């Protein structure tokens, strides 16, 4: 029996076998079974979807939105997105260049599947959101990490990017505001990256799912740089913006030459995004935005609180994040690698953080902290962390 099991198992495709289970989910599950544990682990807003959105979506469901939606997306939603995205970017983005997807993740996987041939290279500034690696591999591509560093605030250095481009480079995956580092690409860096992407004809996948969580100045997208609308796919999501992670609605827009094929992939992979979720997304986009602005302000306050506490801890160094709800402190004053740090902190103090190594080798030496619980809990978690760091100081 055992023999049969192992020969049958060898039939599983090696690409999929090579993927690791998600460290974030694994650690979060362990923490969920512990009493009095404060989870700063999974990147999920603790706010609920506002009542107004739920009521509208339920009403729409009662009125017949229980059928397949058009493959590309609910027509009213596409229309709304077309106006909003055109206004936000100053570009003309007709509905024909937009697709609604199962979360931002659905847009990412569909675009990668649309463009990658086996062995094509995808450049990704590292540390990066671990699902990127899985999606590139599932689409047959190869990840080329472009390391970024604590010393430079984890900003992508254009020269580091340029150095890693080869004949096989096809996609550059950007994520600003960044998970896990909280880095936001500034105007000048965006100009320089755009220049490289244009010269080397890279398709840029710009993951902007945290675009409403920028704490200083306005969010800027690489798609607004000259010529970049022709070679950029922008990914957005309702998950974090509207506290709608479980509804699974995201969307993407890109150039005319590419989007019909992306839509084809979304259609075959999913038929369509669930109709109630799309109606909920439309309700969230249309309503008075003040509850969502308040949510983003609350994340900003929490990140400020966490940063202040971390900044005062000896043995810890931390940049103040410019966006997202993550902090990525360096733990060099403690005699543990990031994995053992996170495991011991969880076991001894019941605080969940994610080891930096989960985001690639350049994340080693740091841990990710998500500001996704209220301020009282955050203070308590920081008291525990401080005690832990003190007890383990080098
Ligand atoms: N991109 C980044 C950087 C993320 O952190 C996440 C979720 N954690 C996603 C994409 C995907 O989010 P969703 O599919 O829920 O829109």
Dist. CA 390 → ligand 1 center (Å): 34
pLDDT tier, 212 (very low <50, low <70, confident <90, very high otherwise): very high
Whether pLDDT at 366 is above 90: yes
Whether pLDDT at 109 is above 90: yes
> Which residues does a 6 A CB cutoff place in the pocket of ligand 1?
43, 103-105, 129, 175, 179, 207, 209, 237, 239, 245, 250
Ligand 1 mutation pick, 22, 49, 129, max ligand atoms within 8 A of CB: 129
Cα gap 171→174, rounded to integer Å = 10
Share of the chain above pLDDT 90, in %: 90
pLDDT reported for residue 94:
98
Q: Closest ligand 1 atom, CA of 250?
A: 16
Top-confidence residue, 3 or 119: 119
Dist. CA 4 → ligand 1 center (Å): 38
Provide the terminal-to-terminal Cα distance of the chain, rounded to the nearest Å.
51
Dist. CA 222 → ligand 1 center (Å): 19
pLDDT reported for residue 23:
82
Whether pLDDT at 204 is above 70: yes
Among residues 278, 279, 388, the alpha carbon closest in space to that of 329 is found at 388
Q: Closest ligand 1 atom, CA of 245?
A: 15
Mean pLDDT within 237-258: 97
pLDDT reported for residue 51:
97
Whether pLDDT at 2 is above 90: no
Share of the chain above pLDDT 70, in %: 99
Among residues 371, 319, 43, the alpha carbon closest in space to that of 207 is found at 43
User: Looking at the domain that runs over 2-48+290-391, which CATH code has it been given?
Assistant: 3.90.1150.10
pLDDT reported for residue 5:
67
Whether pLDDT at 91 is above 80: yes
* Spatial CB neighbours of 139, under 8 Å, sequence gap ≥ 6: 109, 112, 113, 116
Average pLDDT, the chain: 95
pLDDT reported for residue 4:
66
pLDDT reported for residue 341:
96
Mean pLDDT within 92-118: 98
The CATH T-level fold of domain 51-286 is 3.40.640
Domain 2-48+290-391 and domain 51-286 have a common topology: no
pLDDT reported for residue 45:
87
pLDDT tier, 360 (very low <50, low <70, confident <90, very high otherwise): very high
Dist. CA 252 → ligand 1 center (Å): 13
Residue boundaries of the structural domains of the chain:
2-48+290-391, 51-286
pLDDT reported for residue 44:
85
Mean pLDDT within 341-363: 96
Q: CB 63: neighbour CB atoms within 10 A?
A: 9
pLDDT tier, 393 (very low <50, low <70, confident <90, very high otherwise): confident
pLDDT reported for residue 3:
67
Whether pLDDT at 252 is above 90: yes
- Find where tokens 């997105």 sit: 81
Whether pLDDT at 6 is above 80: no
* Cα of 224 vs its chain's centroid, Å: 20
Dist. CA 104 → ligand 1 center (Å): 6
Strands 367-370 and 354-355 turn out to be antiparallel
Q: State how far the alpha carbon of 357 is from the alpha carbons of 138, 330, 364, in Å.
A: 21, 12, 4
Task: Write the pLDDT tens digit of every residue in 262-305.
Answer: 999 999 999 999 999 999 999 999 999 999 999 999 999 999 99
Q: Hey, whose CA ends up nearest to atom 5 of ligand 1?
A: 179
Task: Write the pLDDT tens digit of every residue in 173-200.
Answer: 999 999 999 999 999 999 999 999 999 9
pLDDT tier, 33 (very low <50, low <70, confident <90, very high otherwise): confident
Cα gap 239→237, rounded to integer Å = 5
3-state DSSP of the chain: CHHHHHHHHCCCCHHHHCCCCCHHHHHHHHHHCCCCCEECCCCCCCCCCCHHHHHHHHHHHHCCCCCCCCCCCCHHHHHHHHHHHHHHHCCCCCHHHEEEECHHHHHHHHHHHHHCCCCCEEEEEECCCCHHHHHHHHCCCEEEEEECCHHHCCCCCHHHHHHCCCCCEEEEEEECCCCCCCCCCCHHHHHHHHHHHHHCCCEEEEECCCCCCECCCCCCCHHHCCCHHHCEEEEEEHHHHCCCHHHCCEEEECCCCCHHHHHHHHHHHHCCCCHHHHHHHHHHHHCCCHHHHHHHHHHHHHHHHHHHHHHCCCCCECCCCCECCEECCECCCECCCHHHHHHHHHHHHCEECEEHHHHCHHHCCEEEEECCCCHHHHHHHHHHHHHHHHHCEC
Strand order in the sheet with 354-355: 326-327, 367-370, 354-355
pLDDT reported for residue 61:
97
Q: Closest ligand 1 atom, CA of 102?
A: 14
Q: Are 156 and 184 in contact (CB under 8 A)?
A: no
Would residue 64 be called left, alpha or beta, if left means φ above 0 and alpha means ψ between -120 and 50 degrees? left
Mean pLDDT within 25-51: 90
Q: Closest ligand 1 atom, CA of 237?
A: 16
Task: Write the pLDDT tens digit of every residue in 129-152.
Answer: 999 999 999 999 999 999 999 999
Whether pLDDT at 1 is above 70: no
Q: Hey, whose CA ends up nearest to atom 7 of ligand 1?
A: 43
Q: Closest ligand 1 atom, CA of 108?
A: 10
Class of residue 61 by CB neighbours under 10 A (exposed 0-12, middle 13-18, buried 19+):
middle
Dihedrals φ, ψ of 383, to 5°?
Answer: -60, -45
Dist. CA 74 → ligand 1 center (Å): 21
Ligand 1 mutation pick, 41, 45, 99, 103, max ligand atoms within 8 A of CB: 103
């Amino acid at each position: 029996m055992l023999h049969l099991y192992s020969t049958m198992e060898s039939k599983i495709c090696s690409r999929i076998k090579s993927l690791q289970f998600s460290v974030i989910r694994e650690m979060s599950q362990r923490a969920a079974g512990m009493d009095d544990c404060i989870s700063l682990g999974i990147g999920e807003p603790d706010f609920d979807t506002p009542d107004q959105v739920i009521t509208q979506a339920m009403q729409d469901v009662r009125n017949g939105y229980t059928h397949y939606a058009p493959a590309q997306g609910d027509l009213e939603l596409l229309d709304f997105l077309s106006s909003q995205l055109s206004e936000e970017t100053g570009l003309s983005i007709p509905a024909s260049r937009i697709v609604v997807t199962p979360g931002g993740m659905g847009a990412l996987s569909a675009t990668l599947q649309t463009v990658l041939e086996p062995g094509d290279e995808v450049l990704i500034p590292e540390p990066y959101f671990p699902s990127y690696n899985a999606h590139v591999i599932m689409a047959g591509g190869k990840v080329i990490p472009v390391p970024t560093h604590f010393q430079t605030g984890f900003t992508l250095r254009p020269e580091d990017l340029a150095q890693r481009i080869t004949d096989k480079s096809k996609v550059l995956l950007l994520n600003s505001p960044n998970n896990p580092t909280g880095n936001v690409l500034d105007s000048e860096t965006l100009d320089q990256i755009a220049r490289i992407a244009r010269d080397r004809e890279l398709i840029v996948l710009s993951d902007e799912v945290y675009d409403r969580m920028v704490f200083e100045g306005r969010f800027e997208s690489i798609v607004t740089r000259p010529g970049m609308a022709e070679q950029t796919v922008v990914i957005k999501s309702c998950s974090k913006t509207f506290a709608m992670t479980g509804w699974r609605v995201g969307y993407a827009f890109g150039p005319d030459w590419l989007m019909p094929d992306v839509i084809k992939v979304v259609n075959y992979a999913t038929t369509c995004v669930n109709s109630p979720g799309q109606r909920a997304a439309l309700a969230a986009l249309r309503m008075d935005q003040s509850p969502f602005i308040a949510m983003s302000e609350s994340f900003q306050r929490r990140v400020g609180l966490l940063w202040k506490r971390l900044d005062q801890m000896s043995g810890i160094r931390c940049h103040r994040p410019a966006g997202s709800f993550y902090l990525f402190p360096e733990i060099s004053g403690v005699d543990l690698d990031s994995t053992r740090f996170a495991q011991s902190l969880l076991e001894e103090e019941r605080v969940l953080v994610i080891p930096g190594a989960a985001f690639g080798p350049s994340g080693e030496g740091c841990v990710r902290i998500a500001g996704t619980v209220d301020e009282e809990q955050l203070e308590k978690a920081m008291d525990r962390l401080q005690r832990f760091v003190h007890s383990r100081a080098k």
